[in-house]
């Protein structure tokens, strides 16, 4: 298997791979970004193109291409292997029997969803949905290409269309039910008596994850369908579908979001599709009323800039405000797109595309938007209204993580309302406690303690040497040979000796192999950290020889220090001998060593 892994790695560039998920920026020989795995303000996520590895100095996670895919897509190693094999066109050997059974189990839900999407699609283009539903979508301005691109489908009238189709394909009802496309009918005892199709006579919008896999559906009443039912029915929470992290359109939009460095956030699936067709490919929708912190974490992988286009009704405005608050907490920038007479994005695109594009282009800062809106709703000359405005703005102002931004807006509000800044500060602070903050978890690793590696101050040069060596295979190999005896004899930190010499040999002086040999997570994290620091340090040297020269300087430093210590020891010994009347022989021996030490350079 390791040959396959190596082959895949040789065909991949980790910078391109990670670049599909995260905005990377060149910093010296490596690339930096805000970490996709924890909340942070300054980038501590580092990728080395040279070494094809990544590391986050904030949360300590790191690894190779496989590790990244496993972490970001939540895959098992085998799944990551398959996904990357497919990407690079490398063939993976067949499974053994046990593996196959396991994989089948895990993938069943995806297979069911994939087949269901195909089923619904066929019904729209060739089946019952062709007449009214396809016509309806076209009338709403969608082209055939767009309808196909988003895999829109139609769930026919009746209770067992999909159920029968899937069971005919060999799936058990219980399995199908796990994917959310069926409804369980329970008897008096609470046992499941039967199942039936969840979506009936509806236009079906498949919801996909970042990688483009169907995770669930949002289904709208079809024209001529039962209008007394809910307009939209969605997949319930399942193993595959989690409403709080689902983002409609993210699979198609992610690369454009990264490229454009902003995202258009709209309310409905139709809005996403219409905007996409109008050329704004970086559009997504949330499946719910307001953004969740988890959804923002996903968006933040690609950009920090959000343009929101929410309905002008009360619910839409409330959702926009709440979403902006969470975004401010995460130090993201929010602006608001406004269209006259309160159309939704889908209608706005259909009615006047140029006007829509212009409105998106001219989106105004969210804070300014909300302030102006409140000023138009209330009379700022009335004291009661003034208080209301402050209360309404408190959630937004208090959500800024950045003090600079908070102060900036307090100054603005102070001018608009004609209240002193200090009074406003106090007023907003009084709302602070009432304001439910979303807890931000920032994992902290105390690298200064350097775990068990750093035993005393003397070790620091030794650690420095270790870090430098493990960051370059050639330098490590050469130095381990050249300095083996010196390291073994004079290094005081035995863990460092073990890594450089013994573990080095065992892992062919290769860092990734070394990491695979180490079980302790803290040790791994620490080694990764110094590895990355030293890759950056190593950039100032162009050749292995230059690096070896730098290593020699460190060793000279160690020798000097040892010598100094020895001289001090000898002087102390001499003093003791003189005071306590040591033999001449003893005194001569110390004197000779001192002389020798001062003679060599």
Sign for the CA dihedral angle at 470, 473, 475, 480 comes to positive
Question: What are the DSSP calls for 95-149, one per residue?
Answer: PPHHHHHHHHHHHHHHHHHHHHHHHHHHHHHTSGGGTTHHHHHHHTT--HHHHHH
- Tell me whether residue 56 or residue 233 sits nearer to Zn ion (CB atom): 56
Q: Does 504 bind Zn ion (CB under 5 A)?
A: no
Q: How far is the CB of 60 from Zn ion (least distance, A)?
A: 7
Q: How far apart are the first and last CA of the chain?
A: 53
- Tell me whether residue 71 or residue 352 sits nearer to Zn ion (CB atom): 71
Q: Does 33 bind Zn ion (CB under 5 A)?
A: no
- Tell me whether residue 434 or residue 440 sits nearer to Zn ion (CB atom): 440
Out of 59, 163, 296, 319, name the contact with Zn ion by CB under 5 A.
59
Helix/strand/coil (H, E, C) string of 249-314?
CHHHHHHHHHHHCCEEEECCHHHHHHHHHCCCCCEEEECCCCCCHHHHHHHHCCCCEEEEECCCCH
Instruction: Report the DSSP beta bridge partners of residue 186.
Output: 192
- Tell me whether residue 59 or residue 264 sits nearer to Zn ion (CB atom): 59
What is the SS3 assignment for 76? coil
Residue 63 region by backbone torsions, left for phi larger than 0, else alpha for psi between -120 and 50, else beta? left
Q: Interacting stretch for Zn ion, rule CB under 5 A, among 56-64, 169-177, 504-512, 536-544?
A: 56-64
Using CB under 5 A, count the residues that bind Zn ion: 6
Q: How far is the CB of 529 from Zn ion (least distance, A)?
A: 12
Q: Let me know: does 483 contact 504? Beta carbons within 8 Å.
A: no
Out of 58, 249, 467, 504, name the contact with Zn ion by CB under 5 A.
58
d(CA 351, CA 340): 12
What is the SS3 assignment for 439? coil
Q: Interacting stretch for Zn ion, rule CB under 5 A, among 30-38, 111-119, 246-254, 333-341?
A: 30-38
- Tell me whether residue 372 or residue 441 sits nearer to Zn ion (CB atom): 441
Site for Zn ion in 231-270 (CB under 5 A): none
Q: Let me know: does 536 contact 29? Beta carbons within 8 Å.
A: yes
- Tell me whether residue 220 or residue 528 sits nearer to Zn ion (CB atom): 528
Q: Interacting stretch for Zn ion, rule CB under 5 A, among 51-59, 73-81, 149-157, 383-391?
A: 51-59
Q: Does 37 bind Zn ion (CB under 5 A)?
A: yes
- Tell me whether residue 35 or residue 551 sits nearer to Zn ion (CB atom): 35
- Tell me whether residue 44 or residue 484 sits nearer to Zn ion (CB atom): 44
The 10 Å CB-count burial string (b at 16+, else e) for 137-171 is beeebbeeebbeebbbbbbbeeeebbbebbeeeeb
Q: Let me know: does 411 contact 421? Beta carbons within 8 Å.
A: yes
Q: Interacting stretch for Zn ion, rule CB under 5 A, among 34-42, 201-209, 395-403, 525-533?
A: 34-42
Q: Interacting stretch for Zn ion, rule CB under 5 A, among 29-37, 225-233, 246-254, 334-342?
A: 29-37
Cα separations in angstroms, 129 against 134, 137, 146, 207, 500: 6, 11, 17, 19, 68
Q: Interacting stretch for Zn ion, rule CB under 5 A, among 50-58, 256-264, 313-321, 444-452?
A: 50-58
Q: Does 38 bind Zn ion (CB under 5 A)?
A: yes
Write phi, then psi, for 320 (nearest 5 degrees). Answer: -65, -45
- Tell me whether residue 432 or residue 444 sits nearer to Zn ion (CB atom): 444
Q: How far is the CB of 468 from Zn ion (least distance, A)?
A: 24
Q: How far is the CB of 453 from Zn ion (least distance, A)?
A: 21
Tokens of 580: 């306590």
Q: How far is the CB of 528 from Zn ion (least distance, A)?
A: 12
Q: Does 35 bind Zn ion (CB under 5 A)?
A: yes
Tokens of 265: 């956030």
- Tell me whether residue 208 or residue 529 sits nearer to Zn ion (CB atom): 529
- Tell me whether residue 17 or residue 112 sits nearer to Zn ion (CB atom): 17
Tokens of 594: 């001192």
Q: How far is the CB of 499 from Zn ion (least distance, A)?
A: 24
Q: How far is the CB of 68 from Zn ion (least distance, A)?
A: 12
Q: Interacting stretch for Zn ion, rule CB under 5 A, among 53-61, 260-268, 298-306, 386-394?
A: 53-61
Q: How far is the CB of 37 from Zn ion (least distance, A)?
A: 5
Closest CA to 306 of 329, 334, 287: 334
Q: Does 34 bind Zn ion (CB under 5 A)?
A: no
Q: Let me know: does 324 contact 396? Beta carbons within 8 Å.
A: yes
Q: Let me know: does 499 contact 470? Beta carbons within 8 Å.
A: yes
Site for Zn ion in 80-139 (CB under 5 A): none
Out of 47, 56, 112, 245, name the contact with Zn ion by CB under 5 A.
56
Which run of H or of E encompasses 248? strand 247-248
- Tell me whether residue 57 or residue 511 sits nearer to Zn ion (CB atom): 57
- Tell me whether residue 351 or residue 441 sits nearer to Zn ion (CB atom): 441
- Residues 6 or more apart whose Cβ sits within 8 Å of residue 227: 221
Q: How far is the CB of 35 from Zn ion (least distance, A)?
A: 3
- Residues 6 or more apart whose Cβ sits within 8 Å of residue 457: none
Q: Let me know: does 182 contact 173? Beta carbons within 8 Å.
A: yes
d(CA 585, CA 578): 12
- Tell me whether residue 62 or residue 180 sits nearer to Zn ion (CB atom): 62
Q: Does 68 bind Zn ion (CB under 5 A)?
A: no
Q: Interacting stretch for Zn ion, rule CB under 5 A, among 57-65, 113-121, 179-187, 336-344?
A: 57-65
Q: Interacting stretch for Zn ion, rule CB under 5 A, among 54-62, 178-186, 411-419, 486-494?
A: 54-62
Q: How far is the CB of 26 from Zn ion (least distance, A)?
A: 19
Instruction: Report the DSSP beta bridge partners of residue 31.
Output: 26, 47
Residues near Zn ion (CB under 5 A) = 35, 37-38, 56, 58-59
């Amino acid at each position: 298997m390791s040959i396959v892994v190596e082959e895949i790695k040789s065909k991949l560039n980790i910078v391109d791979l990670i670049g599909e998920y995260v905005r990377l920026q060149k910093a010296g020989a490596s690339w930096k970004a805000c970490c996709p795995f924890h909340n942070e303000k300054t980038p501590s996520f580092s990728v080395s193109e040279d070494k094809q590895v990544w590391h986050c100095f904030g949360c300590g996670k790191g690894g190779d291409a496989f590790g990244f895919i496993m972490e970001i897509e939540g895959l098992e190693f085998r799944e990551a292997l398959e996904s990357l094999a497919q990407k690079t066109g490398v063939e993976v050997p067949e499974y053994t029997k046990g593996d196959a059974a396991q994989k089948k189990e895990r993938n069943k839900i995806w297979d069911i969803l994939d087949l269901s999407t195909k089923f619904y699609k066929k019904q729209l283009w060739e089946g019952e949905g062709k007449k009214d539903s396809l016509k309806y979508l076209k009338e709403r301005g969608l082209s055939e290409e767009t309808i196909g691109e988003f895999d829109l489908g139609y769930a026919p009238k009746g209770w067992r269309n999909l159920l029968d189709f899937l069971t005919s394909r060999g799936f058990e009802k219980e399995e199908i039910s796990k994917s959310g496309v069926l409804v369980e009918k329970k008897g008096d005892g609470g046992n499941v008596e039967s199942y039936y199709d969840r979506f009936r006579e509806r236009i079906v919008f498949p919801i996909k994850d970042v990688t483009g896999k169907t995770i669930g559906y949002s289904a709208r009443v079809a024209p001529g369908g039962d209008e007394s039912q809910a307009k939209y029915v969605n997949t319930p929470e399942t193993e595959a579908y989690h409403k709080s992290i689902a983002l409609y359109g993210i699979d198609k939009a992610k690369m454009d979001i990264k490229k454009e460095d902003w995202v258009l956030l709209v309310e409905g699936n139709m809005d996403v599709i219409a905007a996409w067709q109008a050329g704004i490919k970086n559009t997504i929708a949330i499946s719910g009323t307001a953004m969740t912190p988890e959804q923002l974490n996903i968006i933040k992988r690609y950009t920090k800039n959000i343009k929101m286009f929410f309905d002008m009704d009360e619910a839409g405005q409330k959702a926009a405000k709440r979403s902006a608050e969470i975004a401010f907490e995460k130090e993201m920038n929010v602006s608001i797109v406004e269209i006259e007479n309160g159309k939704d994005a889908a209608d706005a695109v259909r009615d006047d595309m140029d006007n829509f594009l212009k409105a998106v282009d001219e989106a105004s800062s969210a804070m300014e938007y909300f302030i102006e809106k409140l000023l138009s709703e209330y009379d700022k000359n009335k004291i009661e209204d003034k208080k209301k405005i402050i209360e309404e703005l408190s959630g937004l102002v208090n959500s800024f993580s950045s003090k600079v931004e908070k102060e900036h807006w307090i100054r603005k509000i102070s001018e608009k309302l004609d209240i002193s800044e200090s009074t406003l500060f106090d007023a907003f602070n009084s709302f602070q406690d009432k304001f439910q903050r979303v807890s931000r978890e920032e994992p902290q690793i105390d690298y200064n303690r350097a775990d068990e590696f750093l035993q005393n101050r003397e070790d620091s040069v030794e650690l420095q040497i270790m870090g430098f060596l493990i960051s370059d295979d050639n330098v490590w190999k050469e130095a381990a040979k050249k300095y083996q005896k010196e390291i073994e004899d004079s290094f005081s930190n035995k863990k460092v000796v073990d890594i450089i010499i013994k573990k080095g040999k065992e892992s062919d002086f290769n860092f990734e192999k070394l990491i695979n040999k180490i079980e302790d997570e803290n040790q791994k994290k620490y080694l990764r950290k110094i590895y990355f620091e030293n890759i950056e340090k190593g950039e100032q040297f162009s050749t292995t020889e230059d690096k070896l020269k730098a290593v020699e300087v460190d060793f000279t430093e160690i020798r000097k220090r040892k010598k100094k210590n020895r001289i001090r020891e000898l002087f102390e010994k001499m003093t003791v001998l003189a005071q306590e009347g040591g033999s001449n022989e003893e005194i001569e021996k110390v004197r000779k060593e001192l002389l020798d030490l001062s003679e060599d350079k």
